[in-house]
A and B are shown apart, each in its own frame.
Chain A
Amino acid sequence: MFAFIIRRLLQSVLVMLTVALIAFALFRFVGDPINNLVGQDTTLQDRQQLRETLGLNDSVVVQYWRYVVNTAKGDFGYSYMHRRPVKTMLLERMPATLELSIISIILALFIGVPMGVYTGLRRDGFLAKIFMSISLIGISLPTFLIGIMLILVFGVMLRWLPTFGRGEVVAFGIWTTGLLTASGLKALIMPAITLALFQMTLIMRLVRSEMLEVLRTDYIKFARARGLSNRAVNFGHALKNTLVPVITITGLQLGSVIAFAIITESVFQWPGMGRMFIEAVADVDIPVMAAYLCLIALFFVVINLIVDLLYYAVDPRLRIDGGGSGGHG
């Protein structure tokens, strides 16, 4: 157990160092950091001085190490466009993105799982076929198109919901939340649905195929033979056994939800990290891009690690093998 945890931790650190290397390479070699920090009229001497104080004359390895240490402390340097510390910008934007992502994944779970169970049990039912067709459309429609269509119907034609922004927010220290005001909740509805739809179809299809798989097993047949009620068999035995992969995938998906929030945030002009990243890409604001990359990678690595450790705790077979190869994507 101990060796497994150590190995997984080392792997995670390696991934983070690789990502930091990419981020560092971006920062150091895409454009000249000095040119991006100072105006046209700065003298050559001042530039040299700045170069020296920023340590850009040191060897690349030293610079990389310094970058890693600074990043670990949360210091990502200054934004080229806004001339503000990237850390402050990220902290301002993070609550909006996290709130949107978490609400979406909860929404996806609470609608996706029952739909999946239903389609798994009533495989050839009329409603099940409709759910499956809807899910195919859900996968085929690009996220931004769903958002635009919601805006057109509920924002422009019916005028029920606001089409952009986060509404009124309440601040708790550095955290701002839109969940406590009516306008904040109303503003959250459309972005959350847009972001949740794809995950919902994914969860639904996953639960369905897991249910179909489990319902075929011998212990389900045995449970039926024992004369247990349908309810007890379907929910007590079948559903329970489908939930491990569902929880795993949902956990892993949380990372991509945060990344996919980029699209939803630009459609609804949601003031989160994703929109900041898009603006950074358009403006070639490298420090912001690099910081976002590191942060997303951190989310992914931490979530992966937790899921792997949970797996290890849940599935005894992994322990006998001496801890699988850690082969999750």
Chain B
Amino acid sequence: MAEPRGGIGGEVPDLSLWDRTIDALVRARHSDIWYSFKRSPVTMVAAAVTAVIILSAVFAPWVAPYNPFDLATIDLMDASLPPSWMADGDPRFLLGTDDQGRGILSTIIFGARISLGVGFASVVFALIVGVGLGLISGYVGGTVDAVIMRVADIQLSFPAILLALLVDGVARGVLPREAHDELAIYVLVFSIGISGWVQYARTVRGSTLVEKNKEYVQAARVIGRPAILIILRHVLPNVMGPVMVIATIHLALAIITEATLSFLGVGVSPTEPSLGTLINVGQDYLFSGEWWIALFPGAVLAILVLAVNLLGDWLRDALNPKLR
């Protein structure tokens, strides 16, 4: 994994993205990772569960029995029906309906779409910021390194959720109220992303410090490649391994954070409910016996996070044979 790729200068011909993808797939097919994947039934189940949830979220408009946001299909007469296997259940609504007559299954599928979307976007945002700052910190060193790492230290001593809440509160203060509802999702992605960059930066800085003294980087420097190209073409590909592990585990955390913020009522706007919002709404109905409104979205959230965590654990072990 630590084998330097990318060659020196222009000696290795540039492969197109397509060739590279095929190359990577072929390599993955014969790699340890694939082998350890086939050996672990738990991981295969986790991967299948994650894939099902992600696919149904992506293709929500086709998968979900109803579009819960299409007012034409909602009938208040269907409100608060229990799941279909219970006495008063309706076969049209497998998991029952909420107070406005929307099918719980449909709201969950559309809610998972928002949860996963925000989760992925926050991870990508944190990854770009963290890897970027980590590369700079490790490669440039000196004062720049000291400042970035000091900020990281200070930020790391605060829980991510607190920081995300704070960013959200500030956004509420700065943006006018109407704009805030519209931008709520972006604010959320920013706040979750910005509270998660430190992990990436620290790891990447560590591996960059190791890589930059290796011969291939020195060689590239000697032949006069600009620093920015050395960082992007030579160092970056060789520090990405651990980053993928962090990203997977971070995805689970980002989904939890999004759900928590939405549950606390400071996340996405209620017109586009995520799983957290659905649980928040459903909580009020627990006391009147309508447990399915909160419980099913909660179960899906828990299963999703558990599956992603299991995948992350497996990936960490597969990429780090030493830990086995």
Contacts and interface: CB of A to CB of B under 8 A. Distances in A.
Interface of A: 15, 18, 26, 30-31, 136-137, 139-145, 148-149, 151-152, 156, 163, 255-256, 259-260, 262-263, 266-267, 277-278, 280-282, 284, 286, 289, 293, 296-297, 300-301, 304, 327, 329
A278 B172 CA distance: 13
Contacts of B266: 278, 281-282
B302 interface: yes
A304 B156 CA distance: 12
B172 A281 contact: yes
A148 B169 CA distance: 25
Given A142-B305, A145-B298, A284-B173, A259 B279 contact: no
Given A140-B302, A145-B279, A304 B162 contact: no
Interface in B147-173: 153-154, 156-159, 161-162, 165-166, 168-170, 172-173
Contact of A136 (B264, B295, B301, B309): B309
A129 to B, nearest CB: 12
Interface residues of B, number: 40
A144 B263 CA distance: 8
B157 A329 contact: yes
Given A148-B283, A262-B165, A281-B172, A142 B158 contact: no
Nearest to A293: B166
Interface in B293-313: 294-295, 298, 301-302, 305-306, 309-310, 313
Contact of B165 (A267, A277, A304): A277
Contacts of A145: 279, 298, 301-302
Nearest to A19: B154
Nearest to B259: A142
A152 B289 CA distance: 9
Contacts of A304: 157
Given A30-B170, A259-B162, A329-B156, A140 B252 contact: yes
A148 B294 contact: yes
10 contacts: A142-B263, A144-B279, A148-B286, A152-B294, A152-B295, A255-B157, A259-B161, A262-B162, A289-B169, A329-B156
A277 B172 CA distance: 14
| 4 nearest A-B residue pairs (beta carbon) | A30-B173, A281-B169, A140-B306, A329-B156
B263 A26 contact: no
A137 B310 CA distance: 10
B296 to A, nearest CB: 12
Given A18-B154, A136-B309, A329-B156, A289 B298 contact: no
Interface in B33-50: none
Contact of B286 (A144, A156, A256): A156
* Interface class of chain B by DSSP: helix
Contacts of B286: 148, 151-152, 156
B265 interface: yes
Contacts of B294: 148, 152
Contacts of A263: 161, 260, 263-264
A148 B260 CA distance: 12
B22 interface: no
B174 interface: yes
Contacts of A277: 165
A121 B96 CA distance: 47
Contacts of A137: 302, 306
A259 B301 CA distance: 23
Contacts of B287: 156, 163
B59 interface: no
Contacts of A286: 169, 173
B309 A140 contact: yes
A284 B302 contact: no
Contacts of B298: 145, 148-149
Interface string B53-72: 00000000000000000000
B137 to A, nearest CB: 15
B159 A256 contact: yes
Given A30-B173, A256-B159, A282 B265 contact: yes
A255 B301 CA distance: 27
Chain A CB within 10 A, most for which of B162, B259, B302, B313: B162
A260 B161 CA distance: 8
B157 A300 contact: yes
A26 to B, nearest CB: 6
Nearest to A256: B159
